[in-house]
Amino acid sequence: MPDTLRVAMIGYGFMGAAHSQGWRVAPRFFDLPVQPAMDVVVGRDASAVAAAAGKWGWRESATDWREVIARDDIDIVDIVTPGDTHADIAIAALEAGKHVLCEKPLANTVAEAEAMADAAATAAARGVRSMVGFTYRRVPAATFARDLVAAGRIGDVRQVRASYRQDWLMDAEAPLTWRMQKDRAGSGALGDIGAHAVDLAEYITGLSLQSVSGVIDTIVTERPLLGEGHGLSGTASTERGQVTVDDVALFSARFTNPDGGFAALGSFEATRFATGRKNALSIEVSGSLGAISFDLERLNELRFYDATVPVTEQGFRTILVTEPDHPYLAPWWPAGHMLGYEHGFSNQVADFVGAIAAGEQPRPSFADGLHVQRVLAAVEQSSLADSAWTSTAG
């Protein structure tokens, strides 16, 4: 294992900023076994990606991801591009012997995700590691919720309620972007944010979604195109384009235990039209001995209900997840000093680099990402079949 792992990040938008924060900060707070170095960021617009490199701390910029992947001085490829490019970039990087971190959802289709998972399995035999960026697993309160469930503090899981609600598309005149185009994004609210709800529900409970019954819908079917010539200026034009993804997804789910037996029922919601909700990823798990409740809009808190105490003492209580003994907290601030959205990306880098150095498979793996992709596809299929129960199996 070298002293340094040199990183190339492909893409430089919103997620590029978040991932850059992770790569830049993690080595300064975590005692990492090997140091990541921010070598090169890649984008199609030479001037824009050069500006991003300077702003976020990358040593250089480039415009051809294939040339960057072929370089001998790159060890890790971090993919933060739209979903339609994930498969090509990830498979090429793995075949070139680069460790890969890929933003969620893993791909735009099950077939692409299967190809990526196969490439990851082949690469793993050569010691090349890969991971999907379901970053909310690294929010300390969410991780602590998983720990409480695994320790049996809420007993047997009986029901799960998960939702991810945002309102950034409630304005019908908001312009059409790549996130609203199926050929670029794969799906809308279902894949963009619903994927997080699926992964986090399974992560916290230790259960797996076995079948789903759902419906998806597009509330606003066309929107203004951007700028001149469908523009690059960032302003809306008078021309309009078709929205080809869902705005809202609702589905029920059956969970199974690791041995395959039925465990619990779940309900899921993913929407960009929840007026007043900015980034409300919430998970509530009800068990035979208690319950836990997490809301990303209050990400330093976990609500816990203990049904084993006398009835006169029962009620949800709030745990402030900021103690050094809580997951991920020891390298950060003194107790009571809050963490924010960006800290999850540093925690993610620490886990990924640590797994590479230890020669272990990081989680969530590409196989985990493929499973989530199959869940998303099953929800879409169920919606087309009048909400018929649909298996998530491959």
CATH number at residue 64: 3.40.50.720
Q: Which of 135, 150, 173 is the last residue of a domain?
A: 135
Task: Give pTM, 2 decimals.
Answer: 0.95
In angstroms, rounded to a whole number, what is the distance separating the alpha carbons of residues 356 and 5?
10
Residue 172's contacts (CB-CB under 8 Å, 6 or more residues apart) are: 220, 223
Statement: residue 231 has pLDDT above 80: no
In a shared domain, residues 42 and 153: no
In a shared domain, residues 169 and 114: no
Over residues 29-74, the pLDDT tens digits come to: 999 999 999 999 999 999 999 999 999 999 999 999 999 999 999 9
In angstroms, rounded to a whole number, what is the distance separating the alpha carbons of residues 38 and 58?
5
Q: Identify the residue with better confidence: 215 or 1.
A: 215
Q: Residue 370 has what pLDDT?
A: 98
390 in a structural domain: no
Residue 332's contacts (CB-CB under 8 Å, 6 or more residues apart) are: 29, 339, 343
Q: 235: domain CATH number? A: 3.30.360.10
In a shared domain, residues 81 and 172: no
State which residues form the domain around 250.
Answer: 138-363+371-384
393 in a structural domain: no
What is the mean predicted confidence (pLDDT) over 200-212? 98
171 in a structural domain: yes
Q: Residue 235 has what pLDDT?
A: 57
Residue 104's contacts (CB-CB under 8 Å, 6 or more residues apart) are: 132, 133, 134, 195, 196, 199, 369, 372
Over residues 237-294, the pLDDT tens digits come to: 678 999 999 999 999 999 999 999 999 999 999 999 999 999 999 999 999 999 999 9
In a shared domain, residues 79 and 161: no
In a shared domain, residues 117 and 167: no
In a shared domain, residues 88 and 176: no
In a shared domain, residues 75 and 176: no
262 in a structural domain: yes
Q: Which of 135, 168, 196 is the last residue of a domain?
A: 135
Q: Which of 110, 135, 160 is the last residue of a domain?
A: 135
In a shared domain, residues 96 and 191: no
Computed over every residue of the chain, the mean pLDDT equals 96
Statement: residue 350 has pLDDT above 60: yes
In a shared domain, residues 186 and 309: yes
In angstroms, rounded to a whole number, what is the distance separating the alpha carbons of residues 386 and 394?
21
What is the mean predicted confidence (pLDDT) over 352-373? 98
In a shared domain, residues 169 and 301: yes
Q: Residue 229 has what pLDDT?
A: 44
In angstroms, rounded to a whole number, what is the distance separating the alpha carbons of residues 370 and 106?
7
392 in a structural domain: no
- C-beta neighbour count of 340 within 10 angstroms: 9
- C-beta neighbour count of 222 within 10 angstroms: 14
Over residues 77-122, the pLDDT tens digits come to: 999 999 999 999 999 999 999 999 999 999 999 999 999 999 999 9
307 in a structural domain: yes
Q: Residue 276 has what pLDDT?
A: 97
Statement: residue 176 has pLDDT above 80: yes
Q: Residue 2 has what pLDDT?
A: 83
In a shared domain, residues 123 and 188: no
| Total domains in the fold of the chain | 2
343 in a structural domain: yes
29 in a structural domain: yes
In a shared domain, residues 123 and 231: no
Statement: residue 209 has pLDDT above 80: yes
